[in-house]
Structure 1
Amino acid sequence: MMNTHSGLTGASRALQEYLEQLLGGDRPAKRNGVEASSEPLLAPAPEMAAEELTSDLYYRFVAAGLTLAIPAGRISCEMALPEIMTPPLAPHWRRVAETDSGPLIVVDTRTLVLPPGQADPGLRLANDSHHLVVLDDGDWALVAESEGIEEELDLDDVSWRSTAGKRIWLAGTVASRRMALLDLDEIRRLVR
């Protein structure tokens, strides 16, 4: 088997192996030469709001090089990343931005989804992210690298997460599209 990671730096290789494991790559990621244990991902659809599971319209965007999707019906608006934002708070992927309509809780999506040590929470968001996807009642948002797109998603293609594990943000994956679905209810619970 050819090693597709031979030209990558150590950090890039670790990130690529993590994404392959997360999205159902052909081999599990290894840490220190030992196969990492994988969380069970195949399960029936989670206990999400019924309207979210009956709609197949999702918003697809990129954070940390990972293609992510959220139910399009949860989007309040989209905006450019504000220049004034707090440093990382607890949890380390949470920030607050000042907007014309008041404070907005901001989830640094790249820091949330990457394994510990892969994302530098002190790095300015504007270095690689330029967009906010404001959700629900407009009181919180996810950071995206750029504006995303709405598209239909066949929910039968989703491998839904079966149990809560280390990836609290993960609702499921679509391996054929190399995409992860975010669990917005869980993320919102954590930012409150």
Structure 2
Amino acid sequence: MSHLIASQKVIQHYLSALLTEDEPLAPQETALAETKKAELNRLLAQATPVAAPVENVVAAPVQTQVVQPVAKATVAPVVTETAVPVAAPVLRERAIPIAERLAVTPPPQLKVEKAYRQGSFQALFFSVAGLRIAVPLTELGGIHELGPINNLPGKADWFKGIMLHRAQKIQLVDTARWVMPEKYTATLATELNYQYVIMLGTSNWGLCCELLIDTINLEPEQIKWREQEGKRPWMAGLIKEQKCVLVDVDELVKLLNQGLDVNA
């Protein structure tokens, strides 16, 4: 035990000497240091035979490392909260007025390209007060001679009345008054000589006309098509050579059902 304590004192003393080795030593201190070094080597050899000699350890330069203080991690204090029950939010639906429930916005209608615009087609030409009008045969519902007319009060000025044809009640249109109301005068009214009824598709609407002209085969390039939406929807286009209107039957029927004339 005393031997171990003596060896520890020698090691501590030697390490202290290393830390101050830059200071010059007196001759007697140098001799003492050499003596202690030899004694330390002897003690180390006795304690651990495989240990390296002190000279080998001393040969390597000793690097002094500055140990940085380790910052203490800040630990957030643990706060114990009492769980407070939170009531779930009450969702209340807005009362929808009946008017809003009934007002259903219809989906936008896509414009359907007419089949007769894809190639050649036939059209019936007729005249009213000197004005030529054409209807595609594919949208022509038939042709009837004008018969007795039953007038109905409270209708638009251009509504001529009801004509019975077999089991069908045909709603007659005073075509001249509907197409050119600004030129319709009392004189023109007395000069008109309606003889035929041009049926519009599968509807009950019929255009009164004075003269059936002819059925002509047309090519799409012979027509200046109406391209602007909302402007004169009842016109499919203008036939260049004959200088007359080609009727869009579907759009014309829509206007008639709404009680609108050409100025709508």
Query: Under TM normalisation by the shorter chain, which class is it?
Result: 0.5 to 0.7
Shift of 1:124: 5.8
**Alignment equivalent of 1:142, drawn from 200, 203, 207:** 207
Instruction: Return the index of the structure with the highest Cα Rg.
Output: 2
Q: Is the 8 A contact 1:173 1:180 kept in 2?
A: yes
Q: Which residue of 1 aligns with 2:234?
A: 169
Higher relative strand content: 1
Shift of 1:64: 2.1
Higher relative helix content: 2
Q: Which residue of 2 aligns with 1:111?
A: 177
Q: Is the 8 A contact 1:61 1:144 kept in 2?
A: yes
TM-score using structure 2 length:
0.47
For structure 2, the 5+ residue unaligned runs are 1-110, 258-264
Partner deviation per Cα, 1:68-92 (whole Å, 9 max, x = no partner) = 1111112222111122242686443
Change beyond 3 A, Cα 1:77–1:56: same
What secondary structure does 2:182 align onto? Answer: coil
* Number of equivalenced pairs: 144
Alpha-carbon separation, structure 1, partners of 2:214 and 2:112: 22
Q: Which residue of 1 aligns with 2:48?
A: none
Alpha-carbon separation, structure 1, partners of 2:190 and 2:154: 14
Q: Is the 8 A contact 1:94 1:106 kept in 2?
A: yes
Question: Among the aligned pairs, what percent are the same residue?
Answer: 23
Q: Is the 8 A contact 2:200 2:249 kept in 1?
A: no
Kindly provide the amino acid, as one letter, of the partner of residue 184 in structure 2.
A
**1:73 aligns to 2:138 (yes or no):** yes
**1:159 aligns to 2:224 (yes or no):** yes
Q: Is the 8 A contact 1:88 1:121 kept in 2?
A: no
For structure 1, the 5+ residue unaligned runs are 1-46
When the two chains are superposed, the root-mean-square deviation of aligned CA atoms in Å is 2.8
TM-score using structure 1 length:
0.63
Shift of 1:118: 0.6
**Alignment equivalent of 1:83, drawn from 148, 152, 155:** 148
- Using CA pairs under 8 Å that are at least 6 residues apart, name the structure with larger relative contact order, 1 or 2: 1
